[in-house]
Amino acid sequence: MAPHKIILDCDPGVDDAIAILLALASPQEIELLGITTVAGNVPLENTARNARRICTLAGRQDIPVYAGCSRPMLEAEGRRSKVHGNDGLGNVTLPEPDFALQEEHAVDYLIRAIHAASGEITLCPIGPMTNIALAIVKDPSIAPKIKQLVFMGGAAFCPGNSSPVAEFNIYVDPWAAHVVLSAGIPQVMFGLDVTLQAKINSNYLDALQQVSPLLASATAMMRSYGASDPCLHDPCVIAWLIEPSLFSGVEGDISVSYHDDIHRGQTVVAVKPRHLADNQTNITVMTEVDKPRLLKMLAERLSRL
Ligand code: BDR
Ligand code: CA
For residue 95, the domain's CATH number is 3.90.245.10
CA 117 to CA 261: how far, in whole Å? 39
Average pLDDT of the chain? 96
> E strand or H helix at 111, and its extent?
helix 106-116
CA 266 to CA 233: how far, in whole Å? 18
Separation of 13 CA from ligand 1 center, angstroms? 7
Q: Which of 41, 158, 197, 238 to mutate to test the pocket of ligand 1 (most atoms within 8 A of CB)?
A: 41
Ligand 1 shell residues, CB under 6 Å: 13, 15-16, 41, 81, 126-127, 152, 161, 167-169, 233-234
pLDDT band, very low/low/confident/very high, at 1 (cuts 50, 70, 90): confident
8 A C-beta contact, residue 196 and residue 64: no
8 A C-beta contact, residue 267 and residue 254: yes
pLDDT band, very low/low/confident/very high, at 40 (cuts 50, 70, 90): very high
CA 53 to CA 94: how far, in whole Å? 7
pTM more than 0.95: yes
Q: Residue 121: count other Cβ atoms within 10 Å of its Cβ.
A: 25
Q: Indicate the SS3 state at residue 160.
A: coil
Atom 2 of ligand 1 has which residue's CA nearest to it?
168
pLDDT for 280: 84
Q: Residue 97: count other Cβ atoms within 10 Å of its Cβ.
A: 19
8 A C-beta contact, residue 237 and residue 190: yes
Ligand positioned closest to the Cα atom of 39: 2
Separation of 118 CA from ligand 2 center, angstroms? 26
Using a 10 angstrom Cβ sphere, with 0-12 exposed, 13-18 middle and 19 or more buried, the burial of residue 37 is: buried
CA 13 to CA 19: how far, in whole Å? 10
pLDDT for 276: 73
pLDDT band, very low/low/confident/very high, at 227 (cuts 50, 70, 90): low
Ramachandran region of residue 154, left (φ > 0), alpha (ψ -120 to 50) or beta?
left
- In the set 233, 259, 263, 275, the catalytic residue is 233
Ligand positioned closest to the Cα atom of 172: 1
**Ligand 1 atom closest to the CA of 162, numbered from 1:** 10
Please choose, from the candidates 157, 156, 184, 183, the residue with its C-alpha nearest in 3D space to the C-alpha of residue 170. Answer: 156
Ligand positioned closest to the Cα atom of 81: 1
Provide the strand spans (E) within the chain: 4-10, 30-37, 65-67, 121-125, 146-152, 187-190, 247-256, 267-271, 283-289
Our answer to whether residue 233 is catalytic in this structure is yes
**Ligand 1 atom closest to the CA of 161, numbered from 1:** 10
What is the total count of domains within the chain?
1
Q: What is the DSSP string of 167-208?
A: -HHHHH-HHHHHHHHTS---EEEE-HHHHTT-B--HHHHHHH
pLDDT for 83: 86
* Domain housing 148: 4-302
Separation of 188 CA from ligand 1 center, angstroms? 16
User: Which is it for the CA torsion 96, 99, 100, 105, positive or negative?
Assistant: negative
Q: What's the alpha-carbon Rg for the chain, to the nearest Å?
A: 18
Atom 10 of ligand 1 has which residue's CA nearest to it?
168
pLDDT for 275: 79
